[in-house]
Amino acid sequence: MRIATWNVNSVRQRIDHLTSWLAEAMPDVCCLQELKCQDDAFPRLEIEALGYTVETHGQKTFNGVAILSRHRLEDVTRGLPDQPGEPQSRYIEALVTPVNGKPVRVASLYAPNGNPLGTEKFPYKLAFLEALIKRARSLLTSEERFVIAGDYNIIPAARDAEHPDLWVKDALYQPESRAKWQELLNLGLTDALRATSDAGKSYTFWDYQAGAWQKNNGIRIDHLVISPQLADHLTSTAIDSHVRGWEKPSDHVPIRIDLDI
DNA sequence: ATGGCTTTCTACGAAAGA
């Protein structure tokens, strides 16, 4: 089973890139972030035409997450259980149910950016991450197989940035942000990229400004985190960075895993 | 560089992103 995540930075602006990439990468499941549209404006028909079931959790202008699946989607929930009534659409979860196979629970998340520091935005980011950790703890108790994928807006370590010194005053690289990431993994979960590669320069985001892509001034902030049962079945992780070179790209690229399940 | 681009909106500049 192939599971991917991609922050598309407006699904309506990126629909041609999305369909092209789906056709070439052929993921079974794809988590999307930053839809930047309401559910009724989501380009559902184009994606369904490729054989995907679509579940969205959008909002006007900002945020918005979705799960696309070639298998049946059941038990869809929107928002984190610990954040009832949260107006920002940053989390969706569903049970991916293959015809001949055990189900896998998949979550698509868009964590708050948290900048600038010193404002209410940073504690809001940490509160989201805390609610996410609580959800992961609950899923572990259920002993379900699960993947929590998306734009975490966290640079886990220095090797996950081309110029880590440039990020020391940024919410993405604060010790508190990285501690939440570590707290999540310490539950017994696996960072799929680091479980399959020690390579540096494994980036998923390059800023639009100052020629960041051309200079490979990137960061790794999009992650697939997998449950213990799935860690034994992880065969590879790939970052489709070539997509960043397409015309009018998202500033993020897709990252995907293969599981032998 | 004090965001140098990109996206959104009952838009025409401002806010947000990372």
Q: Give the pLDDT confidence of A110-137 residue by residue, as tens digits.
A: 999 999 999 999 999 999 999 999 999 9
Q: CATH number for A2-259: choose from 1.10.150.80, 3.90.1150.170, 3.60.10.10, 2.10.109.10.
A: 3.60.10.10
Q: Is the CB of A194 under 7 A from strand B?
A: no
Q: Which positions on chain B have an atom < 7 Å from some protein CB? A: 3-10, 16-18
Determine if the pTM surpasses 0.75. Answer: yes
Crossing angle for the helix pair A175-186 and A121-142, to the nearest 10 degrees: 0
Quote the strand ranges of A103-252, DSSP E: 104-110, 146-151, 190-191, 205-206, 218-219, 222-226, 234-239
Cis amide bond preceding A27, omega within 30: no
How does residue A139 score in pLDDT terms, banded at 50, 70 and 90?
Answer: very high
Q: Is nucleic acid strand B under 7 Å from A34's C-beta?
A: yes
pLDDT digit string (tens) for A47-88?
Answer: 999 999 999 999 999 999 999 999 999 999 999 999 999 999
Residues 91-120 of chain A in contact with strand B via CB under 7 angstroms = 112-113, 115-116
At A177 the pLDDT is 98
Say what percent of chain A tops pLDDT 90: 99
Measuring CA to CA, how many Å separate A222 from each of A49, A108, A259?
27, 11, 18
Q: Is the CB of A217 under 7 A from strand B?
A: no
pLDDT digits (tens, 9 = 90+) for A199-216: 999 999 999 999 999 999
Domain ranges of chain A: 2-259
Provide the CA A208 to C1' B3 distance, Å, integer: 10
The CA–C1' separation of A152 and B17, in angstroms, is 14
User: Is there contact between A246 and strand B, defined as CB under 7 Å from any strand atom?
Assistant: no
pLDDT at A216: 97
Phi, psi of A193 (to 5 degrees): -60, -45
Q: Specify the pairing of strand A104-110 against strand A146-151.
A: parallel
Positions 11-30 in A, CB within 7 angstroms of strand B: 12-13
Phi, psi (degrees; rounded to nearest 5) at A76: -75, 130
